[in-house]
């Protein structure tokens, strides 16, 4: 991961992977979903302690929905919450989030 970052290659991260990246790469901006467990009829965010860990490592956390991706243009790091969100029925949102992450990785690869 450090070599990818030094080489300015885009890095796509999903679920809890941003936590690992924040451990080894400085000054990242990532998403792991919500910062509080804001349960709704669609799903819940039970892993918010990992968001606090990301912040404690000096990274900036950005709230995003499971179907979204956050793009840190400066560091070429793209993240999406995916399975940080728990749902019984709405897995298509997770699929869409991964698709958005891949779209941005491909866009940055073409540069």
- Please name which of 36, 39, 104 lies closest in space to residue 69, comparing C-alpha atoms: 104
The torsion angle over the Cα atoms of residues 9, 12, 18 and 24, rounded to 10 degrees, is -20
The string of pLDDT tens digits covering residues 36-50 is: 887 777 789 999 999
Structure tokens belonging to residue 28? 């990242």
Whether residue 88 has pLDDT greater than 70 = yes
- Please state which of the four CATH numbers 3.40.250.10, 3.60.15.10, 3.40.50.300, 3.40.50.880 is assigned to the domain occupying 8-109: 3.40.50.880
Question: What pLDDT does 40 receive?
Answer: 72
This prediction has a pTM of 0.93
Mean pLDDT of the chain: 94
């Amino acid at each position: 991961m450090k070599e990818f970052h030094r080489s300015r290659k885009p890095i796509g991260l999903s679920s809890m992977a941003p936590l690992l990246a924040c451990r080894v790469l400085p000054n990242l901006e990532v998403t792991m979903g919500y910062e509080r467990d804001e349960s709704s009829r669609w799903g819940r965010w039970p892993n918010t302690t990992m968001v606090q860990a990301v912040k404690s490592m000096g990274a900036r956390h950005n709230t995003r929905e499971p179907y979204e991706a956050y793009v840190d243009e400066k560091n070429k790091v793209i993240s999406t919450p995916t399975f940080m969100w728990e749902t019984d029925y709405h897995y298509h949102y997770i699929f869409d989030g991964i698709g958005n992450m891949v779209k941005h990785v491909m866009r940055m690869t073409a540069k």
